[in-house]
Structure formats: structure tokens, C-alpha cells
């Protein structure tokens, strides 16, 4: 047990370093995410945002460091976690329907070899209704629009009925209606005491969407409640000399009246 990472934190990262081909992508990260937060992970392209999620979930090897889920190694806490990968990470030509994909979220509880039954399908149907595309359950997934595909992924995370949700850019390239539906869903999860970690790109919506913010650029630049963390100084540190982006930052800050 590490005193600086008490077990009441849903996610604690200790001294995490990740490297691809000997080049560090994440360098010596230390992080505590408090329970029941809707946390945004924000930083420039190549800052290691997706890598951070994947390293926490053992999807890529850690060079060093440790990740604790409620004080225990991830391996023992799989049941508490739902993961929504980037939409482009899967093959949308795969011969399955929207309902089939959502049903995959029940596989963990179902266990090895057991077949999908009526109960799992029922759960999947309810989740699809919840994200507003119940009528598309039998559609082959390539017949869905980008926003609908993202909703399918969210429905799948919902049936996992987890405590911590890891989401990799759920708002990327979706229509405005879907973006609104997704944020309502995340806020709903949040209201039920779940912790949500969400890689996010759009600085303009950060302070509206998230109550907790992690600014990342290979290292943690700042992490904490959004009002204190989302400042010009921190953003400058995060985005460095990328001037065109700094204009966006200025715009974003103006929008929130800071």
C-alpha cells in the first residue's frame, strides 16, 4: 500500500513511464483521480492521452510504474472497468449487428464458453434504447453513421455496468445531436457516482463538460478540479509554443469568461 495513493481513489497512477521504440511517450506520471468525477484528459496531439488509458488497462506494456484501481492492481479489478476505444480502432465492416456489439459488453459477466441468452440480449436492447437508437438494433454496423456507431460503443459500455469508464475520444467526429446525447449520458453516469475518464480534444467545451481536468503532455502538467486547473498559464504549459492553438485557447477561455 502506498500512502500517496490511498485506496479510495478509483484510479491511482504511480511513476508511470511508457515508451515506444525507446522514445518515451509518458514520462514518470503520478496521478490520483477522485471518485465520482467526470474527468477530462486534455493535451495536444501526441501528448500520450490514449496511451495513458491503454497503459492503465494493460493494453500496452508499461516501461515502469504501477496502476491501482481502488488500491488494487488492475488485474484484480477488471469487473469495475468499462473501456470505450476510439471508434477507428475497430473494423466497422465486421459482420455483426448493433445489438451483437452491445451484447459483447456482457461477455465478462457471462464468462468463458457460456452462450449469449435472452437476458443478455434484453440488457443490450435496453442500453440501445438508452442511447436513443433502439430501432437500429438489427442494423449491420457498417450501415450506421459515425454518431450512431459511437452510440453503439457507449451502449456497450453501459451494459458493462462498471464503476470506472475509460473513454477514448467519444466526441471525435460525431454530429451535434450525438455529442449532446453522449454528454447527457456521461453526466447521468456521474450523477450515479460513477467515475468517468474521457480523452477530449475540444478546448471550447472542457469547462462545460468536465468537473475534473487532467492536462497532459508527456507529463502531467496539471490535474485537479476544472475551475482551478483550466487556466491560461496551465494551457500554455500544456500546449507549449503551438501558437495557432494558443489562439484557440484564448477563444476557449473567453467563452468561459476567464
Partner 1 sequence: MTWTTTDFHITTVGVLCAMACALPGTFLLLRRMSMMGDAISHAVLPGLAVAFLISGARTSWWMFFGAAVAGVMTALFTQWISKFGKVDRGASMGIVFTTLFAVGLILIEQGAGNVDLDARCVLYGALELVPLNMVTVFENYEMPRAAIVIGSTLLFNLAVIGFFYKEFTIASFDSGLAETQGFHPRLMHYILMTMVAVTTVAAFEAVGSIIVIAMLIVPPATAFLLTRRLPILILLSLIIAAGSAILGHLTTKAIPVIFGLPETTSSGMMATMTGIIFLLVWLLGPQGLIRRNGTELEEPEEI
Residue 118 touching partner 1 (CB under 8 A): no
Residue 71 touching partner 1 (CB under 8 A): no
Sheet holding 219-225, edge to edge: 81-84, 164-168, 195-200, 38-42, 212-217, 219-225
**What does R_g of the chain's alpha carbons equal in angstroms?**
18
Residue 144 touching partner 1 (CB under 8 A): yes
Site track for partner 1 across 174-213, x = CB under 8 A: -x-xx-----------------------------------
Question: What's CA 196's distance to the chain center, in Å?
Answer: 7
Extract the C-alpha cell encoding 12.
491511482
User: Cβ closer to partner 1: 79 or 247?
Assistant: 79
Which range touches partner 1 (CB under 8 A), out of 113-121, 187-195, 207-215, 238-246?
113-121
User: Cβ closer to partner 1: 40 or 85?
Assistant: 85
Interface residue with partner 1, options 65, 132, 134, 225 (CB under 8 A): 132
Residue 112 touching partner 1 (CB under 8 A): yes
- Beta strand pairing status for 23-33 and 164-168? unpaired
User: Cβ closer to partner 1: 114 or 254?
Assistant: 114
Which range touches partner 1 (CB under 8 A), out of 31-39, 108-116, 197-205, 228-236?
108-116
Neighbours of 19 (CB within 10 A): 15
On whether the CB atoms of residues 60 and 83 are closer than 8 A, the answer is no
Residue 81 touching partner 1 (CB under 8 A): yes
17 vs 30: CA distance, rounded Å: 10
Residue 10 touching partner 1 (CB under 8 A): no
Interface residue with partner 1, options 2, 59, 180, 188 (CB under 8 A): 59
CB neighbours of 217 closer than 8 A, spacing ≥ 6? 43, 44, 47, 48, 237, 238, 239, 240
Amino acid at each position: 500500500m502506498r500512502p500517496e495513493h490511498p485506496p479510495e481513489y478509483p484510479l491511482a497512477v504511480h511513476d508511470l513511464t511508457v515508451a515506444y521504440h525507446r522514445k518515451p511517450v509518458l514520462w514518470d506520471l503520478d496521478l490520483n483521480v477522485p471518485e465520482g468525477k467526470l474527468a477530462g484528459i486534455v493535451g495536444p496531439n501526441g501528448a500520450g492521452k490514449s496511451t495513458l488509458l491503454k497503459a492503465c488497462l494493460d493494453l500496452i506494456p508499461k516501461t515502469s510504474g504501477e496502476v491501482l484501481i481502488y488500491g488494487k492492481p488492475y488485474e484484480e479489478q477488471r469487473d469495475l472497468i468499462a473501456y470505450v476505444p476510439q471508434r477507428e480502432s475497430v473494423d466497422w465492416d465486421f459482420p455483426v449487428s448493433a445489438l451483437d456489439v452491445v451484447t459483447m459488453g456482457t461477455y465478462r459477466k457471462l464468462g468463458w464458453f457460456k452462450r449469449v441468452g435472452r437476458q443478455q440480449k434484453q440488457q443490450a436492447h435496453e442500453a440501445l434504447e438508452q442511447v436513443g437508437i433502439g430501432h437500429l438494433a438489427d442494423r449491420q454496423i457498417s450501415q450506421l453513421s459515425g454518431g450512431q456507431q459511437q452510440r453503439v460503443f457507449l451502449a456497450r459500455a453501459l451494459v458493462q455496468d462498471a464503476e470506472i469508464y475509460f473513454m477514448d475520444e467519444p466526441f471525435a467526429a460525431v454530429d451535434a445531436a450525438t455529442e449532446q446525447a453522449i454528454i447527457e449520458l456521461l453526466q447521468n453516469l456521474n450523477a450515479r457516482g460513477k467515475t468517468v475518464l474521457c480523452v477530449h480534444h475540444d478546448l471550447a467545451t472542457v469547462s462545460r463538460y468536465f468537473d475534473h481536468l487532467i492536462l497532459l503532455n508527456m507529463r502531467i502538467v496539471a490535474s485537479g478540479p476544472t475551475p482551478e486547473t483550466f487556466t491560461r498559464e496551465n494551457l500554455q504549459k500544456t500546449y507549449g509554443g503551438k501558437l495557432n492553438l494558443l489562439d484557440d485557447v484564448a477563444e476557449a477561455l473567453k467563452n468561459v469568461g476567464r
